[in-house]
Amino acid sequence: MVLSQPTSQSFAQPFAQTPAPAPDASATDRMIFGRILALAAGDPVRSMTRALALTKVELAELAARHAPQFADTVAALADRTEFGEDAIEEADLRAFLVEHGADGTDEERWLAAILARRSLEPNHLWQDMGFHDRSELNAMFRRHFPALVAMNAGDMKWKKFFYRQLCEREGLVLCKSPNCEVCDDVEVCFGEEAGDPLSTLSRLARGG
């Protein structure tokens, strides 16, 4: 018996490509809210409600959905949830963020409150949110605030971007230069965010 030989055409058939799996949105939210609650739970000065500008009820729902490992910690919080505003612009920033949420979800409303509160802290925003690096912060924005990612196409530091937007809405001039290309402070707005500003602040406090 003569076995038929495979033709060259049979070898030329391409292998089927397996599409890359889509990002797991639920896993992203578990990362986002797990990091945030871990940061607030470890705050030695403020309660979680004060640190994140959310009520105990809101934190309980957030934990139940995305970070059940913190459910008992939230349940142990005092029922009193008065946390006010830490700065006069906080309400405006919260409203701006809600306006640019992707779907109007509870998660976006929670994040708007958290971002508005944590943006008042002195460090890089990714640090003040409890993330491991800026890429995790950007993953949060892509997931829940894609319109802001599009607006911040130049990748300006997020705190700078927020306050620039608020100032422009009020007709205020935030920048001394007409555009970024001719500004002496480009590094301040767009520079590297991998360092630890806490060490810098500590040195300044000691007069170093």
152-191 tens-digit pLDDT: 988 898 999 998 898 887 654 555 544 444 344 444 444 4
pLDDT tens for 54-84 read 999 999 999 999 999 999 999 999 987 667 7
Residue 82 lies inside a defined structural domain of this protein: yes
Task: Show the domain range for 135.
Answer: 26-193
5/107: higher pLDDT: 107
* Residue 207 belongs to some domain of the structure: no
Q: Own/partner pairs for 24-27, CB < 8 Å, 24+ apart?
A: 25/143, 26/66
171: in domain: yes
**Nearest C-alpha neighbor of 195 from the set 115, 123, 122, 121:** 123
Whether this prediction's pTM lies above 0.85 is answered by no
Q: How many domains does the chain have?
A: 1
DSSP 3-state of 92: helix
Q: Is the pLDDT of residue 122 over 70?
A: yes
In a domain, 107, yes or no: yes
Whole-angstrom distance, CA of residue 167 vs CA of residue 165: 5
Whether 109 shows a pLDDT value over 70: the answer reads yes
In a domain, 95, yes or no: yes
* 9 in any annotated domain: no
> Is 144 in contact with 101 (CB distance < 8 Å)?
yes
